[in-house]
Amino acid sequence: MASITCSFCGDENVVLVSGYNYCVQCSRKLDRKTINLMLSKVFPSLTMERIKDLCTEMFGTEDYCFSKFSNLYAMLDRGEWIERDHRFKIPQSEYLVIVFHKHIKDKHPKLFERISNERSF
C-alpha cells in the first residue's frame, strides 16, 4: 500500500487541505503566501518584504498563517460566529485587510499617512 505524502516536500505527516495533502510546514508556507498576496493587492505601494515584516509584527510570529488568526483578536474582534453558516460575520479576507490597516494606523502612523489613500475604510 502506498503511503500518502505532502504534495510539496514528501513528508508523510500530512493533512488534507483544499483537496491536497500538505504537511504542517508546507501548509503554513502556502498560507503565508496567500496572506501576503491578499494584502499586496489591497496595498500595492507596499513591498512584499514590508508586508511580511508587518505581518510578522502583527501576528507576533514569523510563522503566521490562517490558524494564527486568533492572535489578532485582541487587536480587533472578528464579529459573531454564525453557526448555521459555519463562519464569522466578518469574512476572513476582509478581516485580514481591516486588522492590517488598523495595525499600521496604530503602530506606524507615518506609513499609515502615506498609504491612507489606497483604500477607504
Share of the chain above pLDDT 90, in %: 79
Residue-level pLDDT at 3: 81
- Arithmetic mean of pLDDT, 48-61: 98
Domain map of the chain by residue range? 32-115
Q: Is 116 helix (H, G, I), strand (E, B) or coil?
A: coil
Which three three-digit cell numbers place residue 77? 474582534
Taking only the tens place, the pLDDT of each residue in 2-32 is 689 999 899 999 988 878 899 999 999 999 9
Kind of pairing, strands 87-88 and 81-82?
A: antiparallel
Q: Looking at residue 2, what is its pLDDT?
A: 62
What pTM, to 2 d.p., does this model score? 0.85
Alpha helices by DSSP H, 13-116? 24-42, 48-59, 92-107, 109-115
**Region of 118 on the Ramachandran plot (φ > 0 left; ψ -120 to 50 alpha; else beta):** alpha
Q: Which of 8-12, 36-40, 57-61 has the lowest mean pLDDT?
A: 8-12
Residue 58 CB-density burial (10 A; 0-12 exposed, 13-18 middle, 19+ buried): buried
